Structure 1
């Protein structure tokens, strides 16, 4: 019954958001959600426990930033239960995704997802952002419910290319966090995100280095 419910919610949600995914991609998304639901009981990966809300608050919410993912290789910091990284990787199989988290239980779950879902475009790193040393900086870094914007740019700024941008997913527009951004950083743009079936506000903030500091 749950899978039928999820299948209908996903199909209708994608149509509302004008996102076109293949049947295989939709099956992968639902398989990911089933894994997340199963592992969440032991690993506390997400606060969402109501199965009727999972498609909206986990899959559709993650996919709501799809139009702004323009890079060929995205870093998702504080990847946690794989949101938004895993749904984005399923939707964009020709792009690469690196998922970074300091919690060993969560990265074990992410590695299991990669294995079971056959996600050859996903790499999982267990570690802290400050200790991460990629071969080259990323042009886009996503974060969802990870930390305050000030911490995001402070901890992860060295991982971002000079002309790169953070895709920071938030609930209500975080006026206080924007005001607390360190010198040299600015909100390049922001969007209100429409997520079918989700209550409350959702926002995407695109954060980049201030032009005068480049």
Structure 2
């Protein structure tokens, strides 16, 4: 990335963090620099491997970093599995912001997992493990307290497909655009708990929602 971009990117990141409020507003200078270093790596690799359709680094601040961090308060149980992490989102951003949590970033595409491994190593993220596999066939040694996915699949497919990955009482946190009312209604009809939270993401137009899915204590699932 051109050195001339660093200051505008930092200013946009700082503005976005402030608008999101605590705990994002409380990120340290070192954490913010790590987030910008991640964008630097993403821009460099994206020019060769087409990891994301977003090309403008300033746009990446909102659509990738702030979008991932807008839901950070919901991540309170570890280990966390990021299904279909792609270029490392939301997993890398969350791992930088929540170093006390352990993350596994999963994707089936080799060029993406290679990038994410390199990014985690370059950023010295000791709380990140990267796995190349399809989530349907992934068999972890330890099951997960929290599972997340960003625009990966319909809610019912995420919930049913991750049964073998979840600890008892685990939560699935799905990042979505428009509120998926029909998908949520289908889960409710099946006795599965589901709630939606509207996310206001700085510098991002359009609706954003975090969908929380959990086992209803009166049912199984």
Q: Does 1:2 align with 2:5?
A: yes
For residue 160 of structure 2, what is the aligned residue in structure 1? 154
Q: Does 1:62 align with 2:68?
A: yes
Shift of residue 178, structure 1, vs aligned partner? 1.9
Shift of residue 184, structure 1, vs aligned partner? 4.3
Q: Does 1:186 align with 2:218?
A: no
Runs (4 or more) in structure 1 with deviation over 4 Å come to none
For residue 175 of structure 1, what is the aligned residue in structure 2? 181
For residue 16 of structure 2, what is the aligned residue in structure 1? 13
Shift of residue 160, structure 1, vs aligned partner? 1.2
Which secondary structure state, in structure 1, belongs to the residue aligned with residue 162 of structure 2? helix
**C-alpha contact 2:179 2:196 (8 A) present in aligned 1:** no
Q: Normalised by the size of structure 2, how large is the TM-score?
A: 0.92
Shift of residue 73, structure 1, vs aligned partner? 1.5
Distance 1:178 1:38 in 2: 38
Which secondary structure state, in structure 1, belongs to the residue aligned with residue 57 of structure 2? coil
Q: Normalised by the size of structure 1, how large is the TM-score?
A: 0.94
Q: Which moved more, 1:131-140 or 1:72-81?
A: 131-140
For residue 74 of structure 1, what is the aligned residue in structure 2? 80
Change beyond 3 A, Cα 1:39–1:180: farther
Which secondary structure state, in structure 2, belongs to the residue aligned with residue 45 of structure 1? coil
Q: Does 1:166 align with 2:172?
A: yes
Q: Does 1:202 align with 2:208?
A: yes
Distance 1:116 1:51 in 2: 19
Which secondary structure state, in structure 2, belongs to the residue aligned with residue 142 of structure 1? strand
Distance 1:51 1:134 in 2: 34
Q: Does 1:97 align with 2:98?
A: no
Which secondary structure state, in structure 1, belongs to the residue aligned with residue 82 of structure 2? strand
Which secondary structure state, in structure 2, belongs to the residue aligned with residue 196 of structure 1? coil
Number of residues of Structure 1 aligned to a counterpart in Structure 2: 213
Residue deviations 1:140-193, cap 9 Å, x none? Answer: 101101111121112212211221110000001012322343834331x22100
